[in-house]
Amino acid sequence: MVQVSRRSVTFLPPPKARALIGDFSDWERDPIPLAGPLTLEFPEGAYVEYAFLDEEGRPFPDPDNPERADNPWWTYPRAIRLPGFRYEAPPEPQAEPKVARHRLGERRYYVAETGPYPRATVVAQDGVAFYRTAGLHRVAQALLEAGEIPPVRLVFVEPIDRNREYRFHEGYEAEFHRVLEQVEKDHGPLGEVVLVGASLGGLFSLWQALRHPERFPKVLALSPALKAHPGGMDAYRDREWLLEQYAEAQRLPRIYLEVGLLEWLLGPNRRFAALLADRKAPHAYRERPSGHNWVTWKQALAPGLGYLLGTV
């Protein structure tokens, strides 16, 4: 059970709860021990996702909160909206693009087009989540219908082992490029390519834009996991290696960057946005009063696509 005020939430733990987790505790890294009710302060109008841990360290949902978080990977997070929370709902299209399912070996990917003769291709990592949970193709269709972006092709690429593949993995990089080659063979020229990714998918997208600037000139990066370096596996404490590479690169992509105020990745993303500003790189940056979750990321899709594909 929770008690909500203007800027704080009091968590009243059920009998078997021993710790509290959420975006505010880095989820897996720093659970907050519970000996009774706990009050935490948040930004005004915040959206908060949380869960409890039992004595074995297993997460479970708050039995007194029926509001499930919109999470494609975990079933236990519950959601809280503080007074003043405003959800910027993505636009809804009049017609939904058809999505075709494909395979290249074991790799699954999906392709949709918002109209004939697409002028650009939007490529998303964590494809099923961006397709089913975020509805990226629907957002693109709605923006096209409103005259805000041109017709685009959307490619949703699903990982097999995202924790390994998205961390500067050259084997996945080669397979990812083969997927795009197959899409071009089956559906026609890619045109201008926009890479899209959240968390580790955002890290991989920014890395690819740095390594292949002519092929990938634009990136929509949502809470990219910038606490990472080649060979590292600690998404909370690894060195911010990619920032070092961007500081030295001769050519930088156009980037739309968003992050939540409740994330452990807030600091790295702020430093990345400052680096882009210092380098006079074309970019847009926004922070939202929420965390590392799909409520944060879904709100970024329309402004991100509009910035990268619309008329500036």
Helix (H, G, I), strand (E, B) or coil at 168: coil
Residue type, 130: F
Structure confidence at residue 29 (pLDDT):
85
Q: Is the dihedral of CA 221, 225, 227, 233 positive or negative?
A: negative
- CB 143, CB 91: distance < 8 Å: yes
Q: What average pLDDT does the segment 192-200 reach?
A: 97
Strand 283-288 versus strand 254-260 pairing type: parallel
**26: pLDDT strictly greater than 90:** no
Residue 28 clears pLDDT 90, i.e. is over it = no
Confidence tier at 129 by pLDDT (50, 70, 90)? very high
- DSSP assignment letter at 191: -
pLDDT of 312 higher than 70? no
Radius of gyration, CA atoms only, the chain? 20
Q: What is the mean pLDDT of residues 23-40?
A: 92
3-class state of residue 296 by DSSP:
helix
Q: For 178, left (φ over 0), alpha (ψ -120 to 50), or beta?
A: alpha
Q: Which two tokens stand for residue 73?
A: 């990977």
The torsion angles phi and psi of 231, rounded to 5 degrees, stand at 90, -15
Please tell me the distance from the alpha carbon of residue 238 to that of residue 3, in angstroms, as a whole number: 36
pTM, whole model, 2 decimals? 0.95
Question: What are the structure tokens assigned to 229, written together?
Answer: 């370096």
Residue 232: per-residue pLDDT: 80
- Quick one: tokens of 97? 């693009």
Q: What pLDDT is attached to residue 295? A: 95
Spatial contact of 2 and 65, defined as CB atoms under 8 Å apart: yes
Q: Quick one: average pLDDT of 177-190?
A: 96
Report the pLDDT value the prediction gives residue 182, as an integer from 0 to 100.
Answer: 97
Give CA–CA dist 284/244, Å, rounded. Answer: 20
264 contacts 26 by C-beta, under 8 angstroms: yes
The letter for the amino acid at 237 is R
Average model confidence (pLDDT) for the chain?
95
Strands 107-113 and 120-124: unpaired
pLDDT score recorded for residue 195? 98
51-102: pLDDT as tens digits: 999 999 999 999 999 999 988 889 999 999 999 999 999 999 999 999 999 9
Q: Measured between alpha carbons, how far is 6 from 235 in angstroms, rounded to an integer?
A: 32
Residue 201 makes CB contacts below 8 A (sequence gap 6+) with 124, 125, 126, 159, 162, 166
**Contact call for residues 272 and 244 (beta carbons, < 8 A):** no
DSSP state of 44: T
Task: Band the pLDDT of 235: cuts 50, 70, 90.
Answer: confident
- Count of residues for the chain? 312
CB neighbours of 140 closer than 8 A, spacing ≥ 6?
97, 114, 122, 149, 152, 154, 305
As a whole number, mean pLDDT of residues 12-35 equals: 93
